[in-house]
Amino acid sequence: MSGPDLVGWAATATFATSYFCRDARTLRLIQAAAATMWLAYGIALNAAPVIVANVIVVSLALWSARSTPRSVAPE
């Protein structure tokens, strides 16, 4: 398995784990991390659509995480 393939699989696993998040801010931060890995994958493959799409996703996920208040744990 090549280096880019490992990055792609790691991005897939990271994104999949985001479905287990209950806190909206944590969800967006994990999605931003996965999109950053997908961005690296796109760069490694020189795939402009993957690069552009994930620059957008990283930006939106980080902006959204910043503007989302942390959830308060139930008492």
- Tokens (6 digits) for 16: 């999949």
Q: Is residue 62 part of a domain?
A: yes
**Helix extents (H) in the chain:** 3-17, 24-45, 48-67
What is the pLDDT tens value at each position of the chain, 75 positions in all? 888 899 999 999 999 999 999 898 999 999 999 999 999 999 999 999 999 999 999 999 999 988 877 665 555
Q: Is residue 48 part of a domain?
A: yes
Domain count across the chain: 1
Model pLDDT, residue 51: 96
- pTM given for the model: 0.82
Rg of the chain (C-alpha set): 14
- Tokens (6 digits) for 29: 């931060």
Q: Is residue 11 part of a domain?
A: no
Distance CA(11)–CA(4), nearest Å, equals 10
Q: Is residue 54 part of a domain?
A: yes
Supply the range of the domain harboring residue 43. Answer: 22-69
- Tokens (6 digits) for 74: 């139930």
Q: Is residue 61 part of a domain?
A: yes
